[in-house]
Chain A
């Protein structure tokens, strides 16, 4: 015999309950009682009818899905799962969403589909795709008669007329609407150049918007090859289509704005590009210019300096001139000396010192006594004249 601990038993009970397919996702109707809302944000209450009661809890993470409907004594429909709380030994109903009874079948259906598609990952934020910045073509699925197509055309004409609208008219309410909307999405994504699709309709009652809460539309959006922007009803209406779409727009005008750049801003951007490229080019030119000046300066250092050369020539000329002059001076002095030397040799000068020159009568100097004889006539020259005499 095997003996189990209480924990093992509790675990086993919990596993049994969790494995049951019916209890994983179940709708239960009943009355709320003994509600407590502690600061943790979770809601604890008893859920009962005339004969039975079950402990119930709604965790904080789910309270956005209708926790406000949990009021003591109120009749509500709860969507959730059943599991076992080992700590207290209690089987509990874990509420994922709460709808008031009498909210109509539509609300219940909506909640059912919403939680199913959410569980399948159709709303997963990680699969939301970015909207192209400059779409060549924008597909539109909406009514041919409503204000939606008009608003979108007006907005695109002003913002980005470069794009092309490919309009697939469709019913947006009534029995045909879900299939027509889904077909529109399927057709448009196959048209070359369609890079984004806007799906939408104007405001209306919950019944009017119903086509956008159908599974066929949700799945067509999910399966689309191109991003989908939804614009359904007013901002306060959120449809399943909005949950699945890549981007939810509050209005058709907002949808058109999300899908396109603004022409005026583009023009400003282009102008600023022009300005910036002119600036950058000017900078390049200035840099090149200063580089050229820099090299010019450098090259000047290697050019022969004509002024210096000219000065050198002048210097040389002057020096030549000077030497020439001093040479001439010296020559002059020398000449003077020679002249004075010569003058001492001049016989006239000798006469002045008291000497006399004796010549023959025909003025031949008599250098030796042997060249004269007794009786010959000689001439004697003194400094102031001459006379003849006879040799005795």
Chain B
């Protein structure tokens, strides 16, 4: 797919929402065969993105207090 660059930058919410919409368009059944094929490919791509995002995700925890202390330290020791 040539638009994969755009799709990999989707958030999970965007990807799963688009996937849900795509499936609904397909199931509505008024797409031509060509459109249906395109929608199917799009859905496959989106599902792949969703699964990858889910399986690769690692919970990130930002501690504001530690961030704050780090910044203070940097101000005090600018050469770091």
Contacts and interface: CB of A to CB of B under 8 A. Distances in A.
Given A280-B23, A280-B27, A165 B44 contact: no
A223 interface: no
Given A161-B57, A162-B53, A167 B16 contact: no
Interface in A213-270: 263, 266-267, 269-270
Dominant SS among interface residues on chain A: helix
Given A277-B23, A284-B36, A161 B16 contact: no
Nearest to B50: A270
Interface residues of A, number: 36
A266 B16 contact: yes
Given A133-B13, A273-B47, A281 B65 contact: no
Dominant SS among interface residues on chain B: helix
A271 B53 CA distance: 14
A313 interface: no
B59 A277 contact: no
Contact of A283 (B29, B50, B64): B29
Given A161-B59, A283-B29, A284-B33, A169 B64 contact: yes
B62 A162 contact: no
Contacts of B54: 162, 263, 266-267, 270
A169 B63 contact: yes
Interface of B: 11-13, 16, 19-20, 22-23, 26-27, 29, 31, 33, 36-37, 39-40, 43-44, 47, 50-51, 53-54, 57-65
5 contacts: A144-B65, A167-B64, A169-B64, A187-B64, A280-B23
